[in-house]
Amino acid sequence: MNNDNPGGKTEKSTDILDRKWMDINVPCRAACPIMTDIPGYIKAISDGDYETAYLINRRDNVLPSILGRICNRPCEDACRHGWDGLGEPLAICFLKRSAADYGLKEFAPDIKPNHKKVGIIGSGPAGLTAANDLALKGYDVTVYEQFEEPGGMLRFGIPRFRLPRDIVEADIKSITDLGVKIKTNTRIENVAFIKELQKRNDAIIMAGGCMLPKKLDIPGLDSQGVTWGLDFMMDANRDKLSSSMEKVVVVGGGFTSVDCTRMAHRMGAKKIALSFLFTRDDMTVGEHELDDMEAEGIDFVFLVSPVAVESKDGKVTGITFKRNSVQKDKSIKTIPGSEFTIEADTVVFAIGQEEEDYLPGKKLFAQDNFFITGDFRTGASTVIQAAADGRQIAGQVHRKLANIKEYQDVVTISEVKETGRIRDYDFIPLQPMDKIPLAERAVKEKEVDTGYSQQKSVTEAQRCYLCHYNFQIDIDRCIYCLACIDVMPVDCIKMAKDIHVTDDGNMVPVPAENWEQVQAIVIDNNKCIRCGNCVRACPVDCISISHYSLDVVEKI
Amino acid sequence: MIYKELTVRFCGIAGDGIVSSSRIVANACADAGLHVMVNDIYSAEIRGLGKSTSTIRFAGSKVYSMGDGINALVGLAQQESIDEIKDIQAEGSVIYDSSSPADIPEKESLASHIPPEINGFGIPLKTLANQASGSNRGRNIVSMGALCYLYGLPPSIFKDQIEKIFKRKGDKVVNSNLKAFDLGYEYCKAHYPLNNQFEMKTKARPLQVISGNDALAGGAMDCGLKFFAGYPITPATKIMEITAKELPKLQGWTIQVEDEIAAIGAVLGAWFAGKRAMTATSGPGLSLMSELINLSVMAEIPAVIVNVQRGGPATGLPTKVEQGDLNISLYGGAGDSPRVVMAPTDSKDCYTGIQAAFDLAEKYQTPVIFLSDLFLGQRLETEDIKHNINHKKSTRLKPTREQLNNYQRYALTEDGVSPLIVPGEEGAYYSITGLAHNTTGNPNFESKVHLAMTQKRYKKFKNMLKDLPPVEIIGDEDAEIGIASWGSTFGAIYEGMQIVREKGIKSKMIKSIMIYPQDEETFKSFFDSCKKIIVFEMNYQGQYAALLKSTYNIKPVEVHIPSVDPVSPAKVAEKIMEVSDELTQ
Amino acid sequence: MKCVIIGAGIAGVTAAETIKKINKDIEVVLIGKEQYLPYNRYKLTEYLCNVINDSQLYFASFDFFKDYNIKYRNGEYVKSINPTEKTIKLYHNEVMRYDKLLLATGGTQHLGPVLKTFAPFIQTYYTLQDILMIKRKLSVIKDCVVYGENLSNLDLLSGLCNLGKNITYIIKGEKAFFPLLKEEFEKDVHNFLENKGINIIANDKPVCIRKEKKKYSVETLNRKVIKADIIFAWEDRKPNISFVKGADIYKKSGILVNPYMETSARDIYAAGDCTEIYHPTLKNYWINFGWPNAREQGKVAGENMAGKKVPYQIQETLTFNLEGKPIDARWWE
């Protein structure tokens, strides 16, 4: 989709070094479990082309409106703009949301049906992604969903103030528009039912998720007022929660536990605390969410282990903890004599989920046409990881059914004249997300983040270095004038005596100690921030820019 | 802290913009009515990564020397700046770059050498320069913005100067430099908000900034210089560059010749033809000129030879100052070869002194060796030099009609000065030779003629007194400690005297641009009135002390400073106090 | 052996002195973020009110560092540490090696996610620089807003009162509350403050600050608007340990240490307000509070770094008294 230099040279490469270049040099994309073309869509937004940005996401991660709100963003931690001394990482997730907010359009490509049938059990992110991919390849896909609405965790596990209902519906509609059928209120109870499906379909994918809460073995669990994380969220999302809670303690440390605390705030609870076995750093939830919790007045109690639920007349009165200390091997041990009790009328245990075990010996079910994916396969994970797994398994299904020899990564390298960015963009500060005022956040339905305006999204998108550009010095034309080194903003151009290729395919220039050793002036792409200073400074125009993109191709 | 005066030093390597930074600061201050002195120290390599520093001292009242130590160091190059830290006064500052791209080991880091009493300010010079201009150029301007905030100086004076200096490079360059300045200023405002204050002068008129070489060249041209011949040599080359550019506008000529011998030869030729002419060189060049200076003495052809002294002997220290050429100036000719020797003390002296030099040379038909030095020649200072373009253009003793009949070029007269015609003037012609000659100018080797001519030549010097620039006595008339010095040491000595004066110690100095001949009576009565005499000079032997001792029979305390850095007022004060202590014992 | 100490507060300086007293041949480098000589933080309000002068404020002089041969790197801060390589990186990318490292960086006032956006309008009240900046503006300050319920807020309120400023104090609960006060004072502190002329707004908190032409405008959760010349606001004090991010050292809010002030990383110690240690009486992890405790921790850390094996005795007393002076007897007279 790159049109920076029509008529410029383009080549396709299957060289392992080019493939590795992409992983190392486009860190956001490599960090994304589903390998979204992040610079691609951010560039589109900076050009004001929201539709292209949306379509890139629709193609790469299937659920852009949803992920643009609730993804846990491993890409942002890897973002080059956030490296030491370079500022803040890009607000990649907020930009994905903008792409969906302003660019969502009908996605109806031409599909040639191949008349093969696939059945998918579960319409969570893994199941939906697998359904999407297979439908695009021409399969006749039916998804069996146990609850009354599709979406799985998306519908029931995540609160509406983070993920509004209509957003979930919009992304799912984009998949059903491809011809995917979703049968709700259909629970696959037992092995016999599965065997029946196997007969009627060319392949079955089990994407049932982890719906069972992990349990603890402590006294008092049967008191009134004790509940489990997912049940709490599902009741909340179905408006079945009672609003009589005043003092709530949530035990956990993952996404669900955080959502429970914030939901409790919206249910009117006055004192809410989140307790966790380890410390704040160990929480998998992102800083921005912890900030939102703090703003909503939620307290944190770290390094504690629950030991008992206290009750009076069968009703919860509090929860007793022991303090933990961290051992050398990073495990925790409780400190003797450190018991203390926090008062509560509601205790929510959100300590993780497990898959339902009703498929005895599910591992033995790895027959020819039975596949498993998502949390059911990997254990509880994140939405983006589940989606990535769904894609991977769908790929295996297709490979099997269409007799494909293998999938091959192909890197397309095209010459461009310029990146379209100016140096001033590198100093634009991170654009903060607008949120609704604190006073309005007690309302259950109201989405807290209001989304970037178009102008703000363009400004934020301009910050992206566009790491998919590769800057190289042509050593045959370089005159060693060092003008490029004179203008480099970071230590990115080296007088090199050699280039060392590491085991993982990374090409690193080895700096020379003196002029005699210098073989070439080399741009260290690992450090390069693609500012273009060197290109502008070079008196002999020997620095070229090429655009790298990645496709996966079927080899029959 | 509130400062009344500040000394700032920029330190870096070639390409860091050291010199241009200090010029911007100096001109900005001068435009705001502050008095300024700037001294650059370069390494001697002609090109390459030598270290250079430029120090600017500015104050509300006149500054005479570079003072003692510095208040702020801007270290644009980390390692090279480490040596400069020792010069920083208490509560001073160091500005260093906190955005080095590569890791710096502890030993090489400038910050690790800053003692706790000195404030270190890490500023991301490279990053901010990059932000302003897209390259690493401009770090010096960023540091200037930082300096401006840290010492509470008004930013407008610097920004005006930046616009002036970069105007000819176009708007884009001006704007990126202004942006660099602002970024440095704002960074300090945000990160180091507690700044010092500087007492600016209210309603002060702008001052002129000038170097000794500039003043000298200007003075020469204002009093009728028509011809310059020279060979480039540090630190005199600037003079030739100026005359090459300006003399043609005054119907004059500059020629760069093949060596210093040719230079003095050409100068003598020009004077012979009746035009005021000059050459400028340094120690090694003056050595080469010895024999032709002798010709000037013998044939009584006027000459003005400027020697901007540098470290010697031989090629010596081309970029460092020394006052080592007194002896060769006084005694450097074979035979009984007297010549006028003058030594200006500041740029004003350079201006008025060179004009006096021309007048003396022309009137008394003698070579005048004008001893400037590297520090005086190259330093910038704010000076109020009134251009004296109505200066008498000729002091030549022209012959009368009678004297033209049977014209005697070397006629023996009362004061030794013979009337002089210029070739091409109607009525006479004469021979001119380096051989001993009689009054006609024709060669003559009789001993009594030789004696008479030698006496004549020496008599000229005895009668020069009325035309010599006057001697000044500075300080407390009744002081018992007297100081004699020559050349650019004046400023530091003057300030040293002020320092001890505040401690209640009186001293006085005899200031004379004339080294030879001198107003001996005034000198004698000065020395007689002193209980202790100190002679300061920047050479190892004590060349001036030797002259004074033999002329006036004094036993001074001699301070020989063959250092290559300008004399420091504190050291002068120390010496005066030492001598004062001896007196009271 | 080379000991590097990050933080020039009482813990760090005491540790440095202790190490040198045990073995003067150990090389000691003390890195402090502030330009100034080490000073008594708890005396800052007195300094602001000109009750004490420079010599009473600082507790170490330049001669102290010369005499003990401690290299004092003032005005610099550490960006990151590398326990595997045993190096630290200063903010200007200087890399310094250590044999033993002490983290004594103290705490800073934490703004919280809501107030973080308005940081440029909020005056911090923690360092000597803060005090000097406030001193510069004192003549034009009339109206002050204060938010936060730590002892340092009480300290600030007393200072502003003494200077005759007009104070609005916003509190989260019904009554003003400060931790660790002596019981008899704790009950009456709310009335005490009101009697001093402080205007208290209860059950509220600031959510928005705007800068207008001459004054700031503070808006609270309950929609009250207060105009002020200066705003002091912080949620609580948090240990200053952001530079430890990425290094393998256990921390809670502060750096976790054992009784020998050792952290989980080899040869790295921690002392003072940046540490968290399990307090058996409180039955909780406890971030150090109080000058004398920090000094004691610094001394113990220094002893352990210099080769001894000395445990830190956690003080049993909880009720706070500043350097022996009970809190109800300060400056209010």
Q: What is the pLDDT of residues B487-510, one digit of tens each?
A: 999 999 999 999 999 999 999 999
Q: Has residue C316 got a pLDDT over 70?
A: no
Are residues C222 and C123 located together in one domain of the fold? yes
Higher pLDDT, C104 or A404: C104
The 10s digit of each residue's pLDDT in A353-405 is 776 666 655 554 556 788 999 988 888 889 999 999 999 999 999 999 998 88
Q: Measured between alpha carbons, how far is A471 from A473 in angstroms, rounded to an integer?
A: 7
The 10s digit of each residue's pLDDT in A108-155 is 899 999 999 999 999 999 999 999 999 999 999 999 999 999 998 888
Q: Measured between alpha carbons, how far is C209 from A139 in angstroms, rounded to an integer?
A: 58
pLDDT of residue C332: 35
Q: Has residue A89 got a pLDDT over 90?
A: yes
The 10s digit of each residue's pLDDT in B549-566 is 999 999 999 998 866 677
| Residue type present at position A115 | H
CA distance A294 to chain C (A): 7
Q: What is the ipTM of this complex?
A: 0.89
pLDDT of residue A92: 97
Which chain A positions have a beta carbon within 8 Å of C220's beta carbon?
none
pLDDT of residue A194: 84
Q: How far is CA B140 from the centre of its chain?
A: 27
Chain B, nearest residue to C129 by Cα: B194
Are residues C148 and C230 located together in one domain of the fold? yes
CA B183, B184, B185, B188 torsion-angle sign:
positive
CATH number at residue C245: 3.50.50.60
Are residues C47 and C80 located together in one domain of the fold? yes
Q: Which of the four pLDDT bands, split at 50, 70 and 90, describes residue B220?
A: very high
Q: Has residue A528 got a pLDDT over 90?
A: yes
CA dihedral B310, B316, B318, B323 (to 10 degrees): -10
Domain housing C93: 2-106+240-326
Calculate the alpha carbon distances from A368 to A131, A202, A392, C148 in Å. Answer: 19, 10, 16, 65
The 10s digit of each residue's pLDDT in B251-309 is 999 999 999 999 999 999 999 999 999 999 999 999 999 999 999 999 999 999 999 99
Of the residues C236, C265, C287, which one is the last residue of a structural domain? C236
Neighbours of chain B (3+ CB pairs under 8 A): A, C
Q: Does C86 touch chain A (CB under 8 A)?
A: no
Q: Supply angle C-alpha B191, B193, B194, rounded to 5.
A: 135
A190: tokens are: 């037992």
Bridge partners (DSSP) of residue B230 are B256
Residue B563 CB partners (closer than 8 Å, separation 6+): B538
A189: tokens are: 């109870």
Mutate which of B81, B82, B109, B125 to test chain C, going by most C C-beta atoms within 10 A?
Answer: B109
Q: Which of the four pLDDT bands, split at 50, 70 and 90, describes residue C258?
A: confident
Chain A, nearest residue to C242 by Cα: A281
How is domain A214-354 classified at the architecture level of CATH?
A: 3-Layer(bba) Sandwich (3.50)
Among the listed residues A513, A413, A541, A429, the one whose alpha carbon sits nearest the alpha carbon of residue A470 = A413
- DSSP structural state of residue B199: -
The 10s digit of each residue's pLDDT in B90-140 is 899 999 999 887 888 999 899 999 999 999 999 999 999 989 987 778 899
Q: Are B277 and B250 in contact (CB under 8 A)?
A: no
pLDDT of residue A545: 94
The CATH class of the B472-584 domain is alpha beta
Q: Has residue B174 got a pLDDT over 90?
A: yes
Are residues C96 and C124 located together in one domain of the fold? no
A361: tokens are: 């010996």
Chain A, nearest residue to B132 by Cα: A424
> Exposed/middle/buried for A109, CB within 10 Å: 0-12, 13-18, 19+?
exposed
| Residue type present at position B505 | I
Domain count, chain C: 2
pLDDT of residue C329: 31
Q: Measured between alpha carbons, how far is B65 from A287 in angstroms, rounded to an integer?
A: 59
Query: What is the CATH T-level fold of the domain B210-382, as seen in this structure?
Result: Rossmann fold (3.40.50)
The 10s digit of each residue's pLDDT in B134-167 is 777 889 999 999 999 999 999 999 999 999 999 9
Q: Measured between alpha carbons, how far is C95 from B77 in angstroms, rounded to an integer?
A: 18
Q: Has residue B188 got a pLDDT over 90?
A: yes
Q: Write the residue in B105, B122, B193 that is nearest to C92 by C-beta.
A: B122
Phi first, then psi: give them for residue C86, nearest 5 degrees. Answer: 60, 50
Phi first, then psi: give them for residue A385, nearest 5 degrees. Answer: -70, -40
pLDDT of residue B313: 93
Average pLDDT of span A530-551: 93
CATH 1.10.1060, domain A10-107+409-462, yes or no: yes
Are residues C26 and C79 located together in one domain of the fold? yes
Residue C139 CB partners (closer than 8 Å, separation 6+): none
pLDDT of residue C325: 43
Q: Which of the four pLDDT bands, split at 50, 70 and 90, describes residue C321?
A: very low
CATH 3.50.50.60, domain A117-211+356-401, yes or no: yes
Residue environment code for B86-117, b if the CB has 16+ CB neighbours within 10 A, otherwise e:
ebbeeebbbbbbbbbbeebebeebbbbbbbbb
Q: Has residue C322 got a pLDDT over 50?
A: no
Of the residues C236, C259, C291, which one is the last residue of a structural domain? C236
Q: Measured between alpha carbons, how far is B234 from B310 in angstroms, rounded to an integer?
A: 8
Q: Which of the four pLDDT bands, split at 50, 70 and 90, describes residue A282?
A: confident
Q: Are B344 and B379 in contact (CB under 8 A)?
A: no
Q: Are A124 and A207 in contact (CB under 8 A)?
A: yes
The 10s digit of each residue's pLDDT in C211-223 is 998 899 999 988 9
pLDDT of residue C158: 87
Q: Give domain limits for chain B.
A: 2-198, 210-382, 472-584
Query: Helix crossing, B212-222 with B237-246: angle to 10°?
Result: 40
pLDDT of residue C318: 46
Residue pointed to by tokens 């509130």:
B2
Q: Does C52 touch chain A (CB under 8 A)?
A: no
Q: Does C246 touch chain A (CB under 8 A)?
A: no
Specify the pairing of strand B481-485 against strand B508-511.
Answer: parallel
CA dihedral B287, B293, B298, B302 (to 10 degrees): -160
Q: Measured between alpha carbons, how far is A133 from A205 in angstroms, rounded to an integer?
A: 13
- DSSP structural state of residue B489: G
Are residues C133 and C189 located together in one domain of the fold? yes
Taking all residues of chain A, what is their mean pLDDT, rounded to a whole number?
Answer: 89
Q: Which CATH number fits domain B2-198: 3.90.25.10, 3.30.70.2860, 3.40.920.10, 3.10.20.30?
A: 3.40.920.10
Q: Measured between alpha carbons, how far is C282 from A340 in angstroms, rounded to an integer?
A: 10
Q: Is there a domain that residue C332 lies in?
A: no
Q: Has residue A417 got a pLDDT over 80?
A: yes
Q: Has residue C2 got a pLDDT over 90?
A: yes
Neighbours of chain A (3+ CB pairs under 8 A): B, C
Q: Write the residue in B99, B131, B135 that is nearest to A486 by C-beta.
A: B135
B9: tokens are: 């030093």
The 10s digit of each residue's pLDDT in B30-46 is 999 999 999 988 765 55
Q: Which of the four pLDDT bands, split at 50, 70 and 90, describes residue B390?
A: low
A409: tokens are: 């990564």
Q: Measured between alpha carbons, how far is A537 from A528 in angstroms, rounded to an integer?
A: 15
C110: tokens are: 């934490």
Size of interface B-C (CB pairs under 8 A): 61
What count of residues does chain B have? 585
Calculate the alpha carbon distances from A507 to A438, A527, B232 in Å. Answer: 49, 12, 52
pLDDT of residue C184: 65
Q: Does C2 touch chain B (CB under 8 A)?
A: no
The 10s digit of each residue's pLDDT in A8-33 is 788 999 888 899 999 999 999 999 99
* Fold matches, A10-107+409-462 and A214-354: no
Of the residues C221, C236, C251, which one is the last residue of a structural domain? C236
Ranges of H-type helices in C41-123 = 44-48, 54-57, 62-68, 112-116
Q: Has residue A280 got a pLDDT over 90?
A: no
Q: Which of the four pLDDT bands, split at 50, 70 and 90, describes residue C330?
A: very low
Q: Does C73 touch chain B (CB under 8 A)?
A: yes
Q: Does A326 touch chain C (CB under 8 A)?
A: yes
Q: Measured between alpha carbons, how far is B460 from B416 in angstroms, rounded to an integer?
A: 5
CA distance B180 to chain C (A): 20
What count of residues does chain C have? 333
The 10s digit of each residue's pLDDT in C134-192 is 999 999 999 999 998 888 888 899 889 889 999 999 998 888 887 766 666 777 788 88
Q: Measured between alpha carbons, how far is C254 from C248 in angstroms, rounded to an integer?
A: 14
Q: Does A329 touch chain C (CB under 8 A)?
A: no
> Exposed/middle/buried for B171, CB within 10 Å: 0-12, 13-18, 19+?
exposed
Query: Helix crossing, B171-191 with B139-150: angle to 10°?
Result: 40
The 10s digit of each residue's pLDDT in A470-506 is 999 999 999 999 899 888 888 899 999 999 988 888 8
Q: Does C281 touch chain A (CB under 8 A)?
A: no
Q: Are B469 and B352 in contact (CB under 8 A)?
A: yes
* Fold matches, B2-198 and B210-382: no
Whole-structure pTM value:
0.86
CA A392, A393, A395, A396 torsion-angle sign:
positive
The CATH class of the A469-547 domain is alpha beta
B116: tokens are: 């706790």
Q: Write the residue in B104, B109, B116 that is nearest to C74 by C-beta.
A: B116
DSSP string, B421-456: --TTSTT------SS-B-TTS-B---HHHHHHHHHH
Phi first, then psi: give them for residue A233, nearest 5 degrees. Answer: -65, -40
Higher pLDDT, B51 or B292: B292
Q: Write the residue in C74, C93, C97 that is nearest to B104 by C-beta.
A: C93
Q: Which of the four pLDDT bands, split at 50, 70 and 90, describes residue A452?
A: very high
Q: Measured between alpha carbons, how far is C271 from C299 in angstroms, rounded to an integer?
A: 9
First-to-last alpha carbon distance for chain A, in angstroms, is 25
CB distance B130–A533 less than 8 Å?
yes
Bridge partners (DSSP) of residue B323 are none
Q: Is there a domain that residue C331 lies in?
A: no
Q: Give domain limits for chain A.
A: 10-107+409-462, 117-211+356-401, 214-354, 469-547
